[in-house]
Amino acid sequence: MTGYISYTLRAPTEADAMAPAIEAIAHGFDLVKQDEQGNWQWSLASARHAFDPVGRKLVIPGTYNLNTGEELTPPVYDERFHANLKVKADIADQVKDLLITLGEPHGVEIGIDTGRVWA
């Protein structure tokens, strides 16, 4: 059985994350696809990957009055676009190179090990 490597991705916006994914198609990695209207959509899974678009990320939970539900302090979010990407180990080096080469010019940051539990 082939193992998987997990990456965390963070970009200024979802469009900044999607631009290098569109470019990666020419290199044989299909993380996006076009819908019937020609709009780009994330390809959430294939035989080689699983993609989890998270969006903004909660940094500090808000606090609330337990009796009234009134918000005491608002939650704090990291408004950048976050995602988790898991790829088969045999293509992990190629994908990492693509993430760096195509992603970094768009402000995409790459990390290893999401800490997310994949059941």
Q: Is residue 119 part of a domain?
A: no
Res. 116 pLDDT band, cuts 50 70 90 = low
Question: What range defines the domain where residue 89 resides?
Answer: 4-112
Q: What is the pLDDT of residues 82-108, one digit of tens each?
A: 999 999 989 988 998 999 999 999 999
Residue 3: is its pLDDT beyond 90? no
* Cβ proximity of 87 and 48 under 8 Å: yes
| pLDDT for res 31 | 93
Q: What is the CATH number of the domain that holds 37?
A: 3.30.70
The SS3 assignment for 59 reads: strand
Q: Is residue 82 part of a domain?
A: yes
Amino acid at 69: G
| pLDDT for res 111 | 87
| pLDDT for res 100 | 92
Q: Is residue 81 part of a domain?
A: yes
> CA nearest 53: which of 63, 62, 45, 61?
45
| pLDDT for res 63 | 98
Q: Is residue 73 part of a domain?
A: yes
Q: How many domains does the chain have?
A: 1
Q: What is the pLDDT of residues 8-60, one digit of tens each?
A: 999 999 999 999 999 999 999 999 999 999 999 999 999 999 999 999 999 99
Q: Is residue 107 part of a domain?
A: yes
